[in-house]
Amino acid sequence: MPRITELVRRVYEYEQRSEVETGYLSNVLLLLAAVVLAINTFANSTATPGLYIFCLVVVVGSVILAFWLRRVPNVGHATHYSSALFLIIGLSCLYFGANDGFQTLWFFLFPFVLLIHIGLPSGVPYCLFYGVAVSLFFWTPLHAKAAYDYSYDFCFYYPVFYWSLFALVLVADLFYKSYRIEQEQSERAMAREVADTVRAAQELMLHSVTAISRMIDEKDPYTSQHSRRVAEYSRLIAENMPNRHYTEQELDDLYRSALLHDIGKIAIPDAILKKTDRLTNEEYAVMKTHPVWGRKILDGLEFLPGVALGAGYHHERYDGRGYPDGISTKELPETVRIISAADALDAMNSNRCYRRHCTKAYILGELQKGSGTQFDPAVADVVIRLIENGQIKIDEESGEGADA
């Protein structure tokens, strides 16, 4: 008994959150209308006007309700209306009993229609009500009041067959929906397992790529932690953009893209990357290839959408005079312009082999001067505001003006 109770509870809760198959109910109503219309056309006549008119009302009502079910916004109310119509038709057919009771046999399908496709909460009460009604009608003198003279066998067996069919359909429905519940739980568990596996693989790949980026930073003591700071600046700038709301996922993607923006330096020889003097023109030309290498390394990483753009274009300018391709960042996503500004900011705010970090006044001046040329004006305005209100800290001590 406890197992049966638990089974009913599970199915009941499942049906509470599952959708009613109104398309099926609509088709059943159309089929009912076709059957009743055929019977009325070929078997009934105006000699029995009450039955004839009743059948026409059933046909018209069924068709209207069938098409209404397909468009109704409140499915719950619609199922109750359709179930009530079934009851009215069924009980009316008991009275008329046309065609030797054939029309009453149609309502053996009542449990199939209501239990399986409407569910226990609504289907069981309607089926029980109909079963009790037919039992009282046929097993009491009430059937003698009907317009049709039912035989003894019909009166006795119709309720027996109905209750047997009801019990059979109810048990089948419980086990069928229990199977569907287990299948859905299994599918959800499998989906979670796949998602967890994919997430773990993505995190492993991200940690691997990030470790490479950190290794590049650590190769040069003057740019140590540079990528992390650029990533933090980029996220802060994006959070404060006035006309753009970034989702948490977009901010995470931007942070990772900025974290890996210098990964192309792995292809730059140490003699150039770690040189303490100013680079020659030839060496600088080699250094300027690191965005190209970064784009090649990160391009095609589906788990980090758009990450190659930050690595490949963070040295492009708003006016199109940057490198490596000399294209305007207006043609690129805003995230690239944010990373570009964050990279330039950290370059000015960090100690380099050939100079100390720049002063706050110098950095603000460069941002203002570069607005509309090197930097996106909207991004530059946000960076200036963040510096002025102290959200981005600039170390004033030992700073000096220098070429950034």
Q: Which residue has the tokens 């959150």?
A: 17
The reply to whether 163 and 265 lie within a common domain is no
The reply to whether 165 and 236 lie within a common domain is no
The reply to whether 269 and 154 lie within a common domain is no
Residue 155: alpha-carbon gap to chain centroid: 55
- Residue 185 forms part of a structural domain: no
- Residue 201 forms part of a structural domain: no
The reply to whether 151 and 274 lie within a common domain is no
pLDDT at position 137 over 50: yes
Residue 364 CA to residue 381 CA, distance in Å, equals 10
The reply to whether 33 and 87 lie within a common domain is yes
- Residue 207 forms part of a structural domain: no
For residue 297, give both structure tokens.
């390394």
Given this model, what pLDDT does residue 347 score? 86
The reply to whether 246 and 379 lie within a common domain is yes
Average pLDDT score over residue span 313-327: 91
Given this model, what pLDDT does residue 379 score? 94
- Residue 235 forms part of a structural domain: yes
The reply to whether 37 and 172 lie within a common domain is yes
pLDDT tens digits along 4-48: 777 777 776 766 666 666 676 677 778 778 877 887 777 666 666
Name the nearest CA neighbour of 340 among 236, 244, 242, 258: 258
Given this model, what pLDDT does residue 341 score? 94
pLDDT at position 107 over 80: no
CA 137 → CA 85, 117, 154, distances in Å? 19, 27, 12
pLDDT tens digits along 228-261: 899 999 999 999 998 888 999 899 889 988 988 8
pTM as predicted: 0.55
CB atoms near residue 164 (< 10 Å):
11
The reply to whether 116 and 235 lie within a common domain is no
Residue 34 CA to residue 28 CA, distance in Å, equals 10
Given this model, what pLDDT does residue 198 score? 80
pLDDT tens digits along 327-350: 998 888 899 999 999 999 998 887
- Residue 281 forms part of a structural domain: yes
CATH number (domain holding residue 254): 1.10.3210.10
Given this model, what pLDDT does residue 404 score? 40
Q: State what percent of residues in the chain have pLDDT above 90.
A: 18
- Residue 189 forms part of a structural domain: no
- Residue 257 forms part of a structural domain: yes
Please state the domain count of the chain: 2
Given this model, what pLDDT does residue 204 score? 81
Where is pLDDT greater, at 17 or 165?
165
The reply to whether 228 and 168 lie within a common domain is no
Given this model, what pLDDT does residue 402 score? 43
pLDDT tens digits along 90-103: 777 777 775 566 66
The reply to whether 9 and 131 lie within a common domain is yes
- Residue 214 forms part of a structural domain: no
Range of the domain at 253: 220-388
Name the nearest CA neighbour of 94 among 37, 168, 159: 159
The reply to whether 168 and 304 lie within a common domain is no
**Average pLDDT of every residue of the chain:** 80
Given this model, what pLDDT does residue 105 score? 67
